[in-house]
Amino acid sequence: MALVHKLLNGTYILRKCPKPGVASCPFLSTRFADYCSSSLEKPVAAPGKASSQRKTEGNLEGHHQREVALDITSPEDKPEVSFDKAIKEEIKDHFRRLKDDIVNHWIGPEGRPLHEVLMEQAKVVWQFRGKEDLDKWIVTSDKTIGGRSEVFLKMGRSNQSALLYGTLSSEAPQDGESGRSGYCAMISKIPTGPFERKRFYDWSQFNTLYLRVRGDGRPWMVNIREDTDVIQRKDQMYSYFMFTRGGPYWQEVKIPFSKFFFSNRGRIRDAQYQLLLDKISSIGFTLADKVDGPFFLEIDFIGVFTDPAHTEEFAYENSPELNPRLFK
Amino acid sequence: MNPFISIMLLSTLILSTMIVTISSHWLFAWIGLEMNMMAIIPIMMKKPTPRATEASTKYFLTQATASALLMLAIIINLMYSSQWTIMKLFNPTASILMTMALAIKLGLAPFHFWVPEVTQGIPLTTGLILLTWQKLAPISILYQISPSINLHLMVTMSFLSILIGGWGGLNQTQLRKIMAYSSIAHMGWMTTILLYNPSLTMLNLLIYIIMTFTMFTLLAQNSTTTTLLLSQTWNTMPIMTTFTMLTLLSMGGLPPLTGFMPKWMIIQELTKNESLLLPTLMAITALLNLYFYMRLAYSTALTLFPSTNNMKMKWQFYPTKQMTLLPTAIVLSTMLLPLTPMFFILL
């Protein structure tokens, strides 16, 4: 299924993910669609029309990621693609990446010499300078559960930043079980190696997250997920808040990793654990401040650095009353 | 942890290994291995962080699978020999299954994937128990069934372990993962010689345990878990940098340190058995191990890494942690090479 997605890089025949959800579909070529919506509302347009519409919009506004439901195939579209050739290219690409991986493994961690990695005190992890940088992110909103928020991601002015914008709507979906709604998020894709092997970031020598953003005054939540093989841990994340100012000036937000609090399945837990930095999988920004209306967030880059003045290891305590298990 | 529970768990751990080593009934040995696994899981989860929980889950799943395979092998052996005594196995299928089960327990390649993940998720002292004490029971069973182990399978797994232990540890910055890959490589050396001279396996295990104990105790003094933190040791305890370097080089098998002794003995034994290619390849792949130990030693002792000013005052203060047996362990892990003739005669 993943191979089908990769091959058809401009047109799609069938795009169904095994389960709806954002971070579970890393194989989607996100030039066009951003999430898997296999069971939801009626599609916006037939894919043929959608692609031509996208092309015109793309010409006008540059690279543009939209949320479109692509469940129904158009009978007029006949994509010309050579299956065998595409598969061979894919396999060759993976072997090339494997060879690079082996060479990088020999050189040192992350493909650089060890002393360079150890002496590093600041690192830019994500920056937005071209459309390939946007491909590393997934945007999602409560449309997946039937809500009415919209979110889009595009390159900002003169390709120096990314603009996340849209409309938040806290109108609950009429499905009889959701009482609340209204969220938009931008989540980084999990880094993969050759043969789509899951990778992670090792930020253990850094202690602060550094973001250069320009917002509209809304409070955002920064979420970090750890790399895990256990399925129950996929709901766990560490979060903190980022308050944006609405001004025309860029804002430098520094969040120490010790401030991140632990939550499981969206609920902050009584038992708090420190964010361990040696296996970071993804970072995300969520807006869910219950205020309907348009929003935007411009991001220049996201980095990590070592703040020598920050010596706190973990900002929260566990209490014996709430968690006697931790104090036995 | 409640001291009563702590004592109960530790005593179960010790008792279970003793049960495995002294038993002559297969079922009893299997029970000992199960008790071993059950006892260490709560020790690994002393602080129930999500990472420790994941490590314990992975450990439990792999060890339980290995125990099930082991039981299958025991029953096949029972079918063909109609007795439960622990001695050489009477059926090649049972032998292969049991070898694979014990390889999973030890973390031999290609069943090594759990070792770095589990070691990384648990505290340093628990990691020490995992990589030293937990190896005793499976090796004692391997020692007892050594006449019936398939040579090709064992040599393949051992050489693969040495290779993967060396290759995998190459660009790690997390010290617990480095120790895990070092354990995989050392297990490879131990099991290579098992079919030729099992006494050398025991010698290698003993020396490996001493060196790993020294290394973990040195790391636990400063609670260092990354290479960067280890490279700051010159600020806090300068004498430890020398000992860390010597212990690391000993683990790499450099003469005149202790770690050279098992490697020398093993290569000598293999060449006596007219196997020339294997010890050559093993000696060459051991260089990978030595390379990453040297890198650690370089960043710890041979260079002074830049650090912030306020760290340089700490060497004046007495260390608050207990240095259990550290001086003895350091002497044993660096200065035992002249006693090689004694070990040779004893074993």
Residue in A106, A109, A326 nearest the CB of B173: A109
pLDDT band of B207, cuts 50, 70, 90: very high
CA distance linking residue B181 with residue B175, whole number of Å: 10
pLDDT digits 0-9 by tens, A211-244: 999 999 999 999 999 999 988 899 999 999 999 9
Nearest CA in chain A to B298: A115
Q: Give A256→chain B minimum CA distance, Å.
A: 18
Q: Residues A223, A226, A227, A232: is their CA dihedral positive or negative?
A: negative
Average pLDDT over residues A16-44: 39
Query: Lowest-confidence range among A1-5, A226-230, B134-138, B244-248?
Result: A1-5
The pLDDT value given to residue A119: 87
The pLDDT value given to residue A7: 41
Cβ contact B174–A202 (<8 Å): yes
Q: Which domains does chain A have, with CATH numbers?
A: 93-121 (no CATH), 124-305 (2.60.120.430)
Give me the helices (H) in B45-113, please. 50-81, 92-106
Cβ contact A328–B1 (<8 Å): yes
CA distance linking residue B74 with residue B30, whole number of Å: 9
b/e B6-37 (16+ beta carbons within 10 angstroms → b): eeebeebbeebbebbbebeebeebbbbbbbbb
Q: CB A213: neighbour CB atoms within 10 A? A: 22
Q: What is the DSSP string of B236-281?
A: H-HHHHHHHHHHHHHHTT-TTSTTHHHHHHHHHHHHHTT--HHHHH
Residues of chain A in contact with residue B174, where contact means CB-CB under 8 angstroms, are 202, 204, 278
pLDDT digits 0-9 by tens, A99-138: 999 999 988 888 888 888 888 899 999 999 998 999 999 9
The pLDDT value given to residue A65: 57
- Can you give the pTM of this predicted structure? 0.86
Nearest CA in chain A to B228: A118
Average pLDDT over residues B161-165: 96
CA angle B92, B158, B334 (to 5 degrees): 135
Q: Which of residues 181-210 of B touch A (CB under 8 A)?
A: none
pLDDT digits 0-9 by tens, B221-271: 888 899 988 988 888 888 889 999 999 999 999 989 999 999 999 999 999
The pLDDT value given to residue A79: 66
pLDDT band of B158, cuts 50, 70, 90: very high
Cβ contact A118–B227 (<8 Å): yes
pLDDT at A21 over 60: no
pLDDT at A27 over 50: no
pLDDT band of A59, cuts 50, 70, 90: very low
Strand partners, A175: none
Average pLDDT over residues B149-175: 95
Cβ contact B173–A226 (<8 Å): no
Nearest CA in chain B to A262: B50
Average pLDDT over residues A250-277: 94
Under 8 Å CB pairs connecting chains A and B tally to 65
Q: Residues B159, B160, B165, B167: is their CA dihedral positive or negative?
A: positive
Percent of all residues in chain B with a pLDDT value above 90, rounded to a whole number: 83
In chain B, the N- to C-terminal Cα span, in Å, equals 41
Strand partners, A166: A151, A295
Q: Give B227→chain A minimum CA distance, Å.
A: 8
CA distance linking residue B84 with residue A226, whole number of Å: 47
Q: Which two tokens stand for residue B267?
A: 């290569």
pLDDT digits 0-9 by tens, B30-42: 999 999 999 999 9
* Number of independent structural domains in chain B: 1
The pLDDT value given to residue A73: 56
Spell out which chain A residues touch chain B, with contact meaning CB-CB distance below 8 angstroms. 105-110, 114-115, 117-119, 202, 204-205, 226, 228-230, 233, 236, 262, 271, 273-274, 276, 278, 308, 325-326, 328
Residues of chain A in contact with residue B226, where contact means CB-CB under 8 angstroms, are 204-205, 278
* CB-based contact A238:A228 (threshold 8 Å): no
Average pLDDT value over all residues in chain A: 80
The more confident residue out of A9 and A138 is A138
The pLDDT value given to residue A67: 55
Nearest CA in chain B to A229: B54
Q: Which two tokens stand for residue A68?
A: 């479109």
pLDDT at B297 over 90: yes
Q: Residues B114, B117, B122, B126: is their CA dihedral positive or negative?
A: positive
In chain A, the N- to C-terminal Cα span, in Å, equals 48
Answer whether B81 touches A (CB < 8 Å). Answer: no
Q: Give B49→chain A minimum CA distance, Å.
A: 6
The pLDDT value given to residue A324: 80
Q: Give A198→chain B minimum CA distance, Å.
A: 14
CA distance linking residue B5 with residue B319, whole number of Å: 28
Residue in B50, B171, B231 nearest the CB of A273: B50
pLDDT band of A24, cuts 50, 70, 90: very low
Q: Give A260→chain B minimum CA distance, Å.
A: 15
Cβ contact B117–A228 (<8 Å): no
Cβ contact B49–A236 (<8 Å): no
CA B210 to chain centre: 10
Average pLDDT value over all residues in chain B: 93
Nearest alpha carbon to residue A205 among B117, B312, B303, B229: B229
Cβ contact B54–A117 (<8 Å): no
HSE-up (13 A, CA, CB side) for residue B220: 20
pLDDT at A1 over 70: no
pLDDT digits 0-9 by tens, B324-344: 899 999 999 999 999 998 887
The pLDDT value given to residue A318: 87
Cβ contact B50–A119 (<8 Å): no
pLDDT at A269 over 60: yes
Average pLDDT over residues B112-132: 95
Cβ contact B171–A114 (<8 Å): yes
Nearest CA in chain B to A236: B50
Answer whether B307 touches A (CB < 8 Å). Answer: no
The pLDDT value given to residue A36: 38
CA distance linking residue B159 with residue A307, whole number of Å: 44
Q: At what angle do helices B92-106 and B175-192 cross, to 10 degrees?
A: 150
CA A118 to chain centre: 27
The pLDDT value given to residue A23: 39
* CB-based contact B25:B141 (threshold 8 Å): no
pLDDT digits 0-9 by tens, A301-310: 999 999 988 8
Residue in B174, B231, B308 nearest the CB of A118: B231
Cβ contact B174–A119 (<8 Å): no
The parent domain of residue B332 ranges over: 3-346
Sequence-ordered list of residues with C-beta below 8 angstroms from that of A175, at least 6 positions apart, any chain: A145, A146
The pLDDT value given to residue B176: 96
HSE-up (13 A, CA, CB side) for residue A104: 13
Q: Give A326→chain B minimum CA distance, Å.
A: 7
The pLDDT value given to residue B322: 80
Cβ contact A230–B57 (<8 Å): yes
Residues of chain B in contact with residue A108, where contact means CB-CB under 8 angstroms, are 171
pLDDT digits 0-9 by tens, A62-96: 445 555 555 555 556 666 678 888 999 999 999 99
Q: Give B232→chain A minimum CA distance, Å.
A: 11
Average pLDDT over residues B182-206: 95
The pLDDT value given to residue A69: 52
Strand, coil or helix: A284: strand
The pLDDT value given to residue A11: 38
Residues of chain A in contact with residue B166, where contact means CB-CB under 8 angstroms, are none
pLDDT digits 0-9 by tens, A95-104: 999 999 999 9
Name the DSSP letter for residue B335.
S
Cβ contact A230–B226 (<8 Å): no
The pLDDT value given to residue A2: 41
